[in-house]
Amino acid sequence: KLDQSQLKAFENAAAGHDGVLSDPSGELIIKPCVDAEINFYQETLNLHPDFSEMMPTFMGTLSLGSPAQVAAPTAAHEPAELSQESKDQQLLHGAKIATKTAIVLENLEHGFKRPNVLDLKLGARLYAPGTSDDKAARLDKVASETTTGSLGFRIAGMKVYNPEKSDFDIYDKFYGRQFTSSNVISGFETFFSGLSSGLKAEEAQELLETILAEITKARHMLEKYESRMFSASILVVYEGDSSELGVLMGSEPKTPRVDERAPTRLEVKKSLEEEEEEEALPPVAFKVKMIDFAHAGWTPGEGRDENVIAGLKGVEGCMDQLIARFD
Ligand code: ADP
Ligand code: MN
């Protein structure tokens, strides 16, 4: 159950609009969104549950603004009904109740000590059919001036932990717009610079290979299904705390052995309990998920989404280049 008065601003986004919230535990994000995005999450669970695994876990919806309308985000069939309900409420009460539907999602940064985040906006074409000429022209212009046009993706934003200042370096949307197809790799190098301090070359390579494999998995699904996604992103998160990353990738022992005596029964019980807790939420070295589905849909009969598939191939090409640098 979510108490709306307890929600706080989510200040760790790598890109995008303001207004994203988080719950007190930080496990969830609450993002104001259009009904189309909620519908896409819902439909994906029903039509292509395997692709749902490439998305943040969908927990439900929430009507922001009016505490009386807080609904428990739970069962899979509820969200569509809830948004209809909130629409009805708006009709009933006119403009007086300023509600906005939000989607409740797994916070992909949760569980990391220092989440480094990279938002890669996919597609050379970033607007759906029917978009106004004005907006289309504006987006085409940005595309032609950035790697969006040449590689089918661009760096939309990123945050990278900087141990020297004990804080994150923030790279906004203008940072990613400067790159060309021949130097965008340096953006990837900046994002993955944390690997060199925490890991051996072969561990860094292994992590990059695993991240690449997830991206390829997403592409293979989109090659199998029929969809259209405009302005969706692939979000890469990895552990920016270098000693934690070392532990996660297995180069440092988790608990240094200080004595060799046999554990007492109490110690055995405790460590079993701890293991159980850890099994519920094991820390991971990275996450790769697709996000931002305001203009996305499953579109049977229209063929595969070559626009996004090409973008994912572009990203995979950069990852390949980066992996080769660790040889
Ligand atoms: P928009 O770009 O339309 O504002 P996005 O869905 O792209 O909305 O979200 C904006 C930013 O919020 C992303 O760049 C990402 O950093 C962050 N974000 C979005 N969804 C999640 C999530 N489930 N977990 C963590 N961060 C997220
Ligand atoms: Mn976005």
Give residue-wise pLDDT tens across range 129-148. Answer: 999 999 999 999 999 999 99
Is pLDDT at 256 greater than 60 in this prediction?
no
Give helix then strand counts, H and E, for the chain. Answer: 12, 12
Please write the tens of the pLDDT for every residue from 283-323: 999 999 999 999 999 999 999 999 999 999 999 999 999 99
Distance between Cα 24 and ligand 1 center (Å):
18
Query: Which CATH topology does 115-243+282-324 take?
Result: D-amino Acid Aminotransferase; Chain A, domain 1 (3.30.470)
Closest ligand, as measured to the CA of 37:
1
Distance between Cα 87 and ligand 2 center (Å):
25
- Cβ(23)–Cβ(99) below 8 Å: no
* ipTM of model: 0.99
Mutation pick for ligand 1 pocket among 18, 20, 286 (CB with most ligand atoms within 8 Å): 20
Question: Quick one: pLDDT band at residue 87, thresholds 50, 70, 90?
Answer: very low
Q: Please tell me the predicted confidence (pLDDT) of residue 255.
A: 58
Ligand 1 closest atom vs CA 13? 16
Distance between Cα 238 and ligand 2 center (Å):
18
From atom 9 of ligand 1, which residue's Cα is the shortest distance away?
A: 16
Is pLDDT at 75 greater than 70 in this prediction?
no
Closest ligand, as measured to the CA of 55:
1
| Cα–Cα distance for residue pair 295/36, rounded to 1 Å | 7
- The full set of domain ranges for the chain reads 4-106, 115-243+282-324
Ligand 1 closest atom vs CA 12? 16
Is pLDDT at 93 greater than 90 in this prediction?
no
Long-range contacts of 243-250 (CB under 8 A, 24+ apart): 243/198, 244/113, 244/114, 244/198, 244/283, 245/194, 245/195, 245/198, 245/199, 245/285, 246/198, 246/199, 248/283, 248/284, 248/285, 249/198, 249/199, 249/203, 249/206, 249/207, 249/285, 250/203
Pocket of ligand 1, beta carbon within 6 A: 13-17, 20, 29, 31, 56, 105-109, 117, 119, 157, 233, 235, 291-292, 294
Is pLDDT at 280 greater than 70 in this prediction?
no
Question: Quick one: pLDDT band at residue 92, thresholds 50, 70, 90?
Answer: very low
pTM: 0.85
Question: Quick one: pLDDT band at residue 275, thresholds 50, 70, 90?
Answer: low
